[in-house]
Amino acid sequence: MYMNSVPEPFLFNPLKHHAGYISGFIKEIIACHEHGPEKLMGELVLIGKSQTDLYTGEERLSGITRQVREFLESGRLLEENRYMAWLGPERAYRRMSLSDGSEWILLPGKTPGRWVHIHPARYSPFSLRVRAETLKTAIAVIYHCKKYGLDHFDPEVVNQVRTDLLKQSPMKALSPHKGTGKIIGIIAGAASE
C-alpha cells in the first residue's frame, strides 16, 4: 500500500517513519469499508520488531522525496552506479538535511528499482526514536478510537486494543507526555499526508 506513495528510485517506509503519513493511512483504512482490522494488522507487520525513527515534522512525503531528488541531482548522483560509488566501497550511508532542518540518512536500497533507501536520522530535529511495539500500539489505538468514537487516552481502551488486536500484554499506566501516550498524541495530532 505505502510503496504507491513513494516514487522510484526511493525506498522509504512512511508507515514506520512519517507521522503525517500514518495519520492519513489510518483515515484511509477507516474510510475504505472493505478494509478492517485484518488489513491494518497486515500493514503493521511491515513496521518490524526493533526501534525506528519517526519523522514528526510538517514536510509531506512528496516534499521529502523531492528534496532528496534535488540533492542527488545537484551532485549528479541520480544514477545507481554513481550513487553507490558515492556511498563508498562498504556501501555505508550518507547524511543530508532538508529545508526544515531535519536530517535524513541515505543508504543503498535492496529492492529492484529502489536503490536510494532513505529514513530520518537518529536524534535529528523532528525525529523521535520509537520502539516498534509502541508505534504499532499507537496506530492500532488511533484506528480503533477513530472508528468507534472512543478516547485514545483511555487506558482501558488502549489495553483492550493491545490485548485483543495486537496480542500484547496490557500497560500499567498511560501518560500523554511520554512513551506510548506521547506517540498516540503526535500521530493523532499530525496533519494527514
Q: What is the model's pTM?
A: 0.92
DSSP state of 91: T
Q: How far, in Å, CA of 70 to CA of 66, rounded?
A: 6
At residue 55, the 3 state secondary structure works out as strand
How many residues are present in the chain?
193
Q: How far, in Å, CA of 61 to CA of 17, rounded?
A: 10
Long-range contacts of 35-40 (CB under 8 A, 24+ apart): 37/143, 37/165, 40/139, 40/140, 40/143, 40/165
**How does the average pLDDT of the chain come out, rounded?**
92
Predicted confidence at residue 152, as pLDDT, reads: 92
Predicted confidence at residue 193, as pLDDT, reads: 65
Confidence of residue 155 (pLDDT cuts 50, 70, 90): very high
Predicted confidence at residue 39, as pLDDT, reads: 82
Predicted confidence at residue 35, as pLDDT, reads: 66
Question: Which residue is it, cell 482490522?
Answer: 37
Dihedral sign, CA of 153, 42, 135, 183? negative
Position with higher pLDDT, 176 vs 130? 130
Mean pLDDT of 168-176: 91
pLDDT above 90 covers what percent of the chain?
Answer: 79
Q: How far, in Å, CA of 193 to CA of 191, rounded?
A: 7
Nine-digit cell string for 170: 496490557
